[in-house]
A and B are shown apart, each in its own frame.
Chain A
């Protein structure tokens, strides 16, 4: 194969300094003898300098650099806080900010730091939900029919929806928690490359005393409780009709679980059809 046949691509590699020395020597020797190839190299050279000159970009604006530094400080602060909360924090701060509509509500929780409870006196309910979340028992209903099924077989409730994209309701099953009828709603959470389960347990007829322990977090007029069940977090919430919701996920630290729950439509939603 002669050099002339490949001259365009050879010229490019030559001008980009990508030829090995032997190839370069060979080409340069050839160029002395071949005027048409020389013309191609000259033309490519002038095109290349035209393109490179046109593409010289402006530097980053100073204001942007300042904003960037601030964003990094914030990131560092949040990472540090997540680490303090739980060393098993696997994912970064992808949870927030979520959709703009919930940002305001979520902001309330951001300023409320979850402290590890001084004594772990979490009641049986939160612990049992955390235990059931870890088991993967078959679902009785899946996908879009979960809501109607729940109302037919359990109680007039709506499955909570999360503002964060990537959280999908998989389905539900009926169960019993601490002697009370309950429905376990299972969600799949996809954040980055991580995929894991999240449970929302809806429990009927629970007495206040059965939900002992946990740290109270006020969000507007509502109060949520963050529990530590043997090192796994659970967030509980009792709505105005006495229906108890317990959220648990074995992959989320307490703060992120709380932020997720706050971003759900459960908080501030009027229970339907009661």
Chain B
């Protein structure tokens, strides 16, 4: 009894403090708040079940992010596909009888603000959607969570070089999409952007060459 209460408190102190972070990652991975909540809850319940196997002195946030990422890759995606069929039916229904309700709900805020906020955040989500899962995961872990290449490589079980190329290409695609959007809305003037995927990553070649020079 006592042990169970202590476990719960310990989990609260070490794991639940990262709820906002985990939700942030999940929100960018799943691209909608409802799925993000499901994902975080699944992951945290799983973490709680395996709390005894967590090494107390290791990085708890990284451990939790690994669970979130794995849950996302393994289960959430599968579940989502089956649910999409149902959602499509529901959406069709809504599109016929939900229009008025929705319109009146958003009227409460200033229309310009709603339009701006919605379009910018929609665009981020759209841009994220265009990324392959692996690229998105690398970008989210680095740019939302601030993890190092090594930590991301551990979580994704890939070499650091792979993380770098996913990160590089993922960011390029995102930046291009965001700028395209801003341009189409007239926020920024034409700028030149490099096309994604045009160059392989040569960082490791560089390091290898450097190492050889150094040893001479």
Given A6-B202, A18-B149, A68-B41, the answer on whether A51 and B139 have CB atoms closer than 8 Å is yes
Q: How many residues of A contact B (CB 8 A)?
A: 39
Contact check, A51 vs B178: say whether CB atoms are below 8 A apart.
yes
Q: How many residues of B contact A (CB 8 A)?
A: 50
Q: Which residues of B contact A65 (CB under 8 A)?
A: 19
List which A6-48 residues lie within 8 A (CB) of chain B.
Answer: 6, 8-10, 12-13, 16, 18, 23, 47-48
A58's nearest neighbour on chain B, judged by CB, is: B27
| Binding site secondary structure of chain A | helix
Contact check, A71 vs B45: say whether CB atoms are below 8 A apart.
yes
Give which listed residue, A13, A16, A50, A59, contacts B20 with CB less than 8 A.
Answer: A59
Q: Which residues of B contact A16 (CB under 8 A)?
A: 142, 149
Within the assembled complex, what's the spacing in Å between the Cα atoms of A13 and B199? 16
Contact check, A50 vs B202: say whether CB atoms are below 8 A apart.
no
Give which listed residue, A51, A64, A79, contacts B174 with CB less than 8 A.
Answer: A51
* A5 at interface, CB cutoff 8 A: yes
Contact with A along B181-213 (1 / 0, CB 8 A): 000000000000000000101110111011000
Contact check, A72 vs B49: say whether CB atoms are below 8 A apart.
no
Give which listed residue, A6, A9, A72, contacts B45 with CB less than 8 A.
Answer: A72
Interfacial residues, chain A to chain B (CB-CB below 8 A): 1, 3, 5-6, 8-10, 12-13, 16, 18, 23, 47-48, 50-52, 54-61, 64-65, 67-69, 71-73, 75-76, 79-80, 92-93
Interfacial residues, chain B to chain A (CB-CB below 8 A): 1, 4, 7-8, 11, 16, 19-20, 22-25, 27-28, 33, 37, 40-41, 44-45, 48-49, 120, 124, 127, 139-140, 142-144, 148-149, 164, 167-168, 171-172, 174-175, 178-179, 199, 201-203, 205-207, 209-210
